Amino acid sequence: MRIDGWEKCLKAIVERHRDLPGQWGVSDCWMLAVEAHEAVTGKKLAPKLRRYKTEKAGYKLFAKHGFTTVGEALAAHLPECPALMAQRGDLGLIERGGLESCGVVTSLGLAVKTLYDDGSSVLEYHPVTAMTRAFKVT
């Protein structure tokens, strides 16, 4: 169930990740998605998948819990819905360069925190039509 005032909480989380420098396990696509879920529901999503400091450590942690992708982890915790039926606050996936990235549906599209190899990062918005999968946050 969505908590009262979730819209303001979600906006604050998205703005926080927009302003934070990218850092694995602090502000990356997974952390944005799980914190957005918490902002909407008041409940932690997959707390065992939040302790990593590098991309490699993140993949290792996910593998330890039986997941090879963020999509597998989301599917284990949330019901899937048609991507074009996703609403604000739901979580979604996009594929870029053969890798999945996750984010949260906003009024501007799917917000995804992207970290680049050169150390830069950005909060990007992708059209919901670019989502390959979506997950209902209730």
In terms of C-beta density within 10 A (0-12 exposed, 13-18 middle, 19 or more buried), how is residue 21 classed?
A: exposed
Q: Is residue 16 part of a domain?
A: yes
* Cα–Cα distance, 63 to 4 (Å, whole number): 35
> What CATH number does the domain containing 74 carry?
3.90.1720
State how many domains the chain has.
1
Residues 130, 118: Cα–Cα separation, whole Å: 25
Full DSSP string of 39-70: HHHSS-S-GGG---SSHHHHHHHHHHTT-SSH
The residue segments making up the domain with residue 96 are 6-135
Cβ proximity of 2 and 89 under 8 Å = yes
| Domain annotation covers residue 121 | yes
Q: Residue 79 falls within a domain, yes or no? A: yes
Per-residue pLDDT of the chain (138 residues; tens, 9 = 90+): 999 999 999 999 999 999 999 999 999 999 999 999 999 999 999 999 999 999 999 999 999 999 999 999 999 999 999 999 999 999 999 999 899 999 999 999 999 999 999 999 999 999 999 999 999 999
